[in-house]
Amino acid sequence: MKIDVFILSFIICMIFLGITIYLIRNGKLREQYAILWVILTAVMMVLSLFPSLIDGLAKQIGVSYAPSLLYLLGLISVLFILLHLTIAVSSLTARFIVLTQKIGMLEQENLTLRQGSKELTADPAIRRIKAENPAKLQEGSSRFL
């Protein structure tokens, strides 16, 4: 039994689409990144079902060998994917820098508060109040701990 290469290509595209949907549903692939994959898979499915589209498009553009147009479309698709991922990485890098700066500021604030808390407990008046009524002191100074 001979399987047509276009049917095989369509089956592979269906499997790839199924895997993409599975990854989206399980939270392993975000929708914003999956849209590009779904669009490219749909284009490949259409081209697999209607291979004459490639021939017609190649004639209109002036490409003498239609499969070379398919390679060109594949290369352009890969370039779009790379551009999309580069934009995503750049955005994440900027967010990482901001988050790192915020963590540094929070650590500095935490250190300042801890040092202020130690100064409060070192005060003799605080020690005297603590000795007289420890429950009242803990209620009032719990924001420093």
Q: Which of these ranges, 2-6, 20-24, 132-136, has the smallest mean pLDDT?
A: 132-136
Q: For residue 119, give Cα distances in angstroms to 9, 72, 86, 115, 134.
A: 73, 70, 50, 6, 17
Record the pTM: 0.59
- Residues 84-113 have a mean pLDDT of 91
Q: How far is CA 67 from CA 55, 70, 104, 128, in A?
A: 8, 5, 55, 89
pLDDT classification of 145: cutoffs 50, 70, 90: very low
Give 12-64 pLDDT, tens digit per residue. 999 999 999 999 999 998 888 888 889 989 998 998 888 889 889 999 999 88
